[in-house]
């Protein structure tokens, strides 16, 4: 995969338009197209001295394209105005001798218009209709004026950038309507473009670390956000979808995929590219695993009342002390397992799980990962219902041992943090916001 202008450039001499190239996925796409050698027209409304709510501009994007090894050309264009879009493609036709190979439709502008958790009849109608104009009408207008140039050359591709590759509900009416409509647009345009040798494909990123999502974080510090937003753990940069677009655009068999909606995580595995940090984030797989683990977490915290803490510490600065005490404050019965003390937290300790003389629901582990398999065997032997490996601890061997005997298993999560997230409380009259106890 192209890393920068020093590498191979599979799209050298290709001409591309990235509509809505100011920031986010479209900026990442434009830069990667440039790194692959393309001439990229970067369009949008935000220019220096005249931005629309955020500081990024199409001039900056064009400079990044050129710096990556391509040629970036900024052209201010309001894609809601047909005459401006027509003038854009007239200009490209003149400057490039009628050549156009790649069109990326990623005009959005709906962030400030979206109301999450509000049913459509309560959503401000003007905002919802404006979202349709900005993110659907603009795509139609752009395609209307761009496609004749592709058809004339009997080749090329138009990409529709969406969010998600299924028709599952996306959390709010107008947002859902926009993102599923552009998927359908890719399919419908594909039916009409295929006979002309032009491909039409929708592509979705996973959880995108755009400028707006990062906020005051950077690519060096974004992992700090994982504690408050778990999706950051398997997020991707805008360059990742850019590399997906390059891989598709360079594929001579792309016409066979026309009409499809494709995902960065699948394309990365198919074509072998990575994100800029060398990782290959797989949104769907990780999201499904997170949801599945959430169900296990809720089941454990909803039914358990007694927790045996292996590796309990008397040092109040350590999580192996703070977390169990937090669980106790939430009403759990906490039993410290440690050979280094006879008494801890005002109660009796036990040297090992094998020494317990009472049943426990959960074995919570604050020990090294290599010790986890033996702890799992002991948890099975005492009839515990669940094994919980604290944040930072994973062991597939321990998981296999515990699950083989029917124990629920959670790895690499903080029991205290999950109890706070679900507002779990135990004891007479206790209630929980998210879990039945």
Q: What is the CATH number of the domain that holds 387?
A: 3.40.50.720
Same domain, yes or no, for 250 and 359?
Answer: no
Domain that holds residue 397: 295-421
pLDDT at 436: 42
Q: How confident is the model at residue 430 (pLDDT cuts 50, 70, 90)?
A: low
Same domain, yes or no, for 230 and 192?
Answer: yes
pLDDT at 429: 53
Residues 6+ apart with CB under 8 A from 305: 331, 332, 333, 361, 426
Same domain, yes or no, for 188 and 319?
Answer: no
Interatomic CA distance for residues 319 and 188, integer angstroms: 55
Domain contains 165: yes
- The tally of domains found in the chain comes to 2
Same domain, yes or no, for 412 and 333?
Answer: yes
pLDDT in tens, 120-138: 999 999 999 999 999 999 9
Same domain, yes or no, for 195 and 313?
Answer: no
Same domain, yes or no, for 52 and 175?
Answer: yes
- Which among 224, 255, 281 is the end of a domain? 281
Same domain, yes or no, for 111 and 34?
Answer: yes
What average pLDDT does the segment 365-383 reach?
97
Same domain, yes or no, for 235 and 315?
Answer: no
Average pLDDT, the chain: 93
pLDDT at 6: 38
Q: Are 88 and 77 in contact (CB under 8 A)?
A: yes
pLDDT above 50 (res 385): yes
Same domain, yes or no, for 241 and 336?
Answer: no
pLDDT in tens, 66-77: 999 999 999 999
Domain contains 125: yes
Domain contains 431: no
Domain contains 429: no
pLDDT above 50 (res 5): no
- Which among 281, 306, 326 is the end of a domain? 281
In the chain the first and final C-alpha atoms are separated, in Å, by 51
- Which among 219, 247, 281 is the end of a domain? 281
What average pLDDT does the segment 310-314 reach?
94
pLDDT in tens, 29-78: 999 999 999 999 999 999 998 888 789 999 999 999 999 999 999 999 99
Which tokens in the block code for residue 63?
A: 């400079």
Domain contains 379: yes
Give the sign of the dihedral formed by CA 241, CA 243, CA 245, CA 251. negative
Same domain, yes or no, for 331 and 187?
Answer: no
pLDDT above 70 (res 428): no
Interatomic CA distance for residues 243 and 253, integer angstroms: 17
What average pLDDT does the segment 349-366 reach?
96
Domain contains 76: yes
Same domain, yes or no, for 184 and 230?
Answer: yes
Residues 6+ apart with CB under 8 A from 141: 79, 80, 82, 85
Domain contains 8: no
pLDDT above 60 (res 7): no
User: Pick from 326, 323, 310: which is nearest to 376 by CA?
Assistant: 310
Same domain, yes or no, for 263 and 136?
Answer: yes
| Cα 260–chain centre separation | 20
Domain contains 98: yes
């Amino acid at each position: 995969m192209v890393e920068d202008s020093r590498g191979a450039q599979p799209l050298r001499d290709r001409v591309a338009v990235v509509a809505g190239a100011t920031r986010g996925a479209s900026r990442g796409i434009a830069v990667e197209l440039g790194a692959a050698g393309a001439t990229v027209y970067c369009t949008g409304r935000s220019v220096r001295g005249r931005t629309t709510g955020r500081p990024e501009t199409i001039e900056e994007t064009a400079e990044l394209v050129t710096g990556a090894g391509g040629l970036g050309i900024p052209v201010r264009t309001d894609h809601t105005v047909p005459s401006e879009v027509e003038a854009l493609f007239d200009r490209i036709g003149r400057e490039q001798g009628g050549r156009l190979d790649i069109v990326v439709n990623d005009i959005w502008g709906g962030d400030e218009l979206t109301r999450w958790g509000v049913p459509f009849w309560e959503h401000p109608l003007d905002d919802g209709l404006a979202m349709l104009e900005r993110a659907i009408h603009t795509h139609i207008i752009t395609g209307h004026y761009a496609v004749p140039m592709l058809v004339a050359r009997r080749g090329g591709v138009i990409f529709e950038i969406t969010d998600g590759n299924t028709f599952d509900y996306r959390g709010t009416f107008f947002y859902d309507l926009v993102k599923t409509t552009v998927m359908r647009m890719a399919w419908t345009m594909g039916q009409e473009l295929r006979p002309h040798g032009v491909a039409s494909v929708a592509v979705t990123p996973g959880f995108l670390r755009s400028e707006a999502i990062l906020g005051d974080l950077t690519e060096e510090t974004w992992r700090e956000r994982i504690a408050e937003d778990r999706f950051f753990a398997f997020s991707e940069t805008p360059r990742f979808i850019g590399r997906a677009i390059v891989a598709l655009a360079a594929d001579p068999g792309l016409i066979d995929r026309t009409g499809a909606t494709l995902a960065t995580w699948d394309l990365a595995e198919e074509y072998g590219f990575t994100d800029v940090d060398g990782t290959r984030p797989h949104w769907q797989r990780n999201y499904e695993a997170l949801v599945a683990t959430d169900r296990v977490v809720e089941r454990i915290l909803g039914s358990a009342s007694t927790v045996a803490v292996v590796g309990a510490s008397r040092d109040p600065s350590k999580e192996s002390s703070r977390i169990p005490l937090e669980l106790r404050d939430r009403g759990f019965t906490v039993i410290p397992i440690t050979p280094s003390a006879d008494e801890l937290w005002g109660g009796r300790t036990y040297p090992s799980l094998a020494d317990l003389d009472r049943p426990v629901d959960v074995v919570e582990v604050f020990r090294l990962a290599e010790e986890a398999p033996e702890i799992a065997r002991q948890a099975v032997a005492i009839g515990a219902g669940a094994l919980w490996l604290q944040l930072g601890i994973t062991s597939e061997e321990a998981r296999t041992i515990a699950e083989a005997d029917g124990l629920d298993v959670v790895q690499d999560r903080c029991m205290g943090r999950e109890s706070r997230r679900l507002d779990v409380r135990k004891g007479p009259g206790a209630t929980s916001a998210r879990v039945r106890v």
